[in-house]
Structure 1
């Protein structure tokens, strides 16, 4: 079956190093045809140039701190039938686009969301969720790894995560794209709600997976300690004005304040914040809530046709997944070997086992190698036993089986 042409939009601001890793994964997709659009500040545009991608991707300068506007600008030059979104602190698995676009074979599907993996490279940060008119989230039960189209109850929408989502272009532009009143936070949820109200269908694709690092920003540190709560307050207020009955808004805001206070106290207890920080952040939240009341809620017009033709990217991934595995003391030699294979266009997974029970972690290296490290008897899935006797070969085969579908590793590997 023919795969749809996909435009992948990455918005970046102040994260040149992180963007480079995002692009390292994105230029190695086992998919065709796709184009890459980077909407970024000067630092991000410089990163595109430093990676010799300037003539191969659509790089659009934009430095305003408004992710909704930035995404709409990306849509304005996106010529794909499907438009996918990826954050600049995320790295996609090589089969990401293959799995993310598969549900669009059903003409009823307008949007698709995938699963998001957290910092350890193994545990899921987000899977399937719904969100309601008061921005309350609830987990959705999705069994197995096959894509599934979901229809939540009235007043809810299937939640697609901003760092791993795709939309049929015709449906996205018809509902007006992203609402610029959301500078940050709930911008994707608002779009989900508008699509649900319009009767559109959203699917979840469990094997469409990206790794999300939570890079630092003006709003939070690398340790996820908040630096500013202004924009989440403003965006919540906008969301409630758009979707929540007026009589219920005060109660929702009171609960949100209580939840944020509890979050701040947790960081205070662990040493991430000082008492004066808690007071400042609480005040900033209230300022944001007040500002959200003053933001103009425009009727969102249909977005225009793309201003540029499709620019197909020739993926650096020219061969299916390959595996290298060894002991910790072989790491230097095996890393060099893996880097050479990645340079040749092989999707390379490197497994390094040490003689202990250390938990496993996974990351993509700057050379484009998927490296997994941990104890031979240690946990990979955090639900595993702390200690599981095994041989080197059995452990290697078990870890290969765990990632084969998303890494593009042939079954006979």
Structure 2
């Protein structure tokens, strides 16, 4: 009888700068993944490295000190430390579902697959920010209809369109990525993974889109955006787009595409002004920063990418804090304190915990991962979770908890209860 091949070893790379609180939550989630062979590589500023130290992880993970605002260069440092067969990327303001790596790495059993990408959930923890998309040589994206929202689907690029993966939820064969020179440091932020997608497409490499490989992306505040997602600065957006077009788009089409982006960003700014997230003086400043960024990107040096070295220290397997056991806890809002204490205790014992707290209302549901290491979903017993569901429906507590557990079971690994 032929034995099943062991899952590939995975190096999880996290880049962090000036977002200590978000990083702590990200590391809490990554440290509890249900996967047999992974290492964690943190490329971070001094503040981020202190977070790992304070959490007691500094001796268990690989750390790289880096305090420059260039996510591509930071990721390349991480790739240089990676010893896994696969490298997976997640942003510091994201948290993976427990089976994230299990699903994201599985398609690599097919030798044709060179990269994989999963789905990204937004702030409410239920609606998707991004699912499957493609991108063309002018950085225009388009949704890809997925006939199967459960199993991975292997997709092939064309000469004009690449399969897009999101930098906060993607994986690539380590040796291929290193041989390609990793990410282009000319992209300090934005379109860095899209540039990689186009380069992979040029060689005809297949990508698997994996619906159940899910991460929750919080859009944490940064030097580029506020906590309410209003932009603080558009310089790197303009610069990266200009670099991307110089590398991939016919010169005759570049001016039209830049004008299109200026108009799109202007519409975004006006929308933020109307809903009160920006003031008139912000609009003028941000318009100037976008145009200055475009000028920067049109002058920025684009150097050939050299192969990246392999980690000298070898693979540092991380012992997950999760035992692999799963527990569903649920109850009414009136007992939330006791329920949270129960969930915290179970998580401290290594369990993967999903806590459902229901009020006797029709409030919409939200999901978040907590610093205590458990998943919390709260909302009205009669309210909707998925935003296309009925606004009001009569439920009993147990049947509602069972239905919600079933809805997330594939990504989280929950069994019937």
TM range (shorter): over 0.9
Aligned-partner Cα distance in 1 for 2:185–2:146: 32
Aligned-partner Cα distance in 1 for 2:312–2:165: 26
1:117 alignment partner, one of 117, 121, 129: 121
Aligned-partner Cα distance in 2 for 1:337–1:163: 31
Q: What's the CA shift string for 1:266-314, capped at 9, x where partnerless?
A: 0111111111111110011010000001111111112222232100000
Q: TM-score, normalised by structure 1?
A: 0.99
Q: What's the CA shift string for 1:198-218, capped at 9, x where partnerless?
A: 111111000000000000000
Q: Does 1:91 align with 2:91?
A: no
Q: TM-score, normalised by structure 2?
A: 0.98
2:295 alignment partner, one of 280, 285, 290: 290
Aligned-partner Cα distance in 2 for 1:391–1:341: 25
- Determine the structure 1 residue equivalent to 2:40: 36
- Determine the structure 1 residue equivalent to 2:191: 186
Q: Does 1:73 align with 2:80?
A: no
1:356 alignment partner, one of 347, 361, 380: 361
- Determine the structure 2 residue equivalent to 1:264: 269
- Determine the structure 1 residue equivalent to 2:8: 4
Aligned-partner Cα distance in 2 for 1:284–1:8: 33
- Determine the structure 1 residue equivalent to 2:26: 22
Is the contact made by 1:12 and 1:38 (CA closer than 8 Å) also made in structure 2?
yes
2:105 alignment partner, one of 90, 101, 104: 101
Aligned-partner Cα distance in 1 for 2:324–2:157: 40
- Determine the structure 2 residue equivalent to 1:57: 61
The 3-state SS of whatever aligns with 1:130 is strand
Is the contact made by 1:320 and 1:408 (CA closer than 8 Å) also made in structure 2?
no
- Determine the structure 2 residue equivalent to 1:231: 236
1:82 alignment partner, one of 76, 81, 86: 86
The 3-state SS of whatever aligns with 1:402 is helix
Q: Which runs of 5+ in 1 are unaligned?
A: none
Q: For residues 295-334 of structure 1, what are the structure 2 equivalents within 5 Å?
A: 295-334=300-339
- Determine the structure 1 residue equivalent to 2:157: 152
Q: Does 1:138 align with 2:142?
A: yes
- Measured on the aligned residues, the alpha-carbon RMSD in Å equals 0.8
1:161 alignment partner, one of 141, 163, 166: 166
Aligned-partner Cα distance in 2 for 1:355–1:346: 28
Aligned-partner Cα distance in 2 for 1:320–1:282: 51
The 3-state SS of whatever aligns with 1:260 is helix
The runs of 4+ residues in structure 1 deviating greater than 3 Å are: none
Aligned-partner Cα distance in 2 for 1:132–1:286: 23
Q: How far apart are 1:319 and its partner, in Å?
A: 2.9
Is the contact made by 1:219 and 1:226 (CA closer than 8 Å) also made in structure 2?
yes
The 3-state SS of whatever aligns with 2:325 is strand
Q: How many residues align?
A: 412
Aligned-partner Cα distance in 2 for 1:95–1:201: 23
- Determine the structure 1 residue equivalent to 2:397: 392
Aligned-partner Cα distance in 1 for 2:59–2:181: 29
Aligned-partner Cα distance in 1 for 2:321–2:287: 47
Is the contact made by 2:156 and 2:205 (CA closer than 8 Å) also made in structure 1?
no
Q: How far apart are 1:392 and its partner, in Å?
A: 1.6
Q: How far apart are 1:221 and its partner, in Å?
A: 0.5
Aligned-partner Cα distance in 2 for 1:68–1:180: 5
Is the contact made by 1:78 and 1:308 (CA closer than 8 Å) also made in structure 2?
no
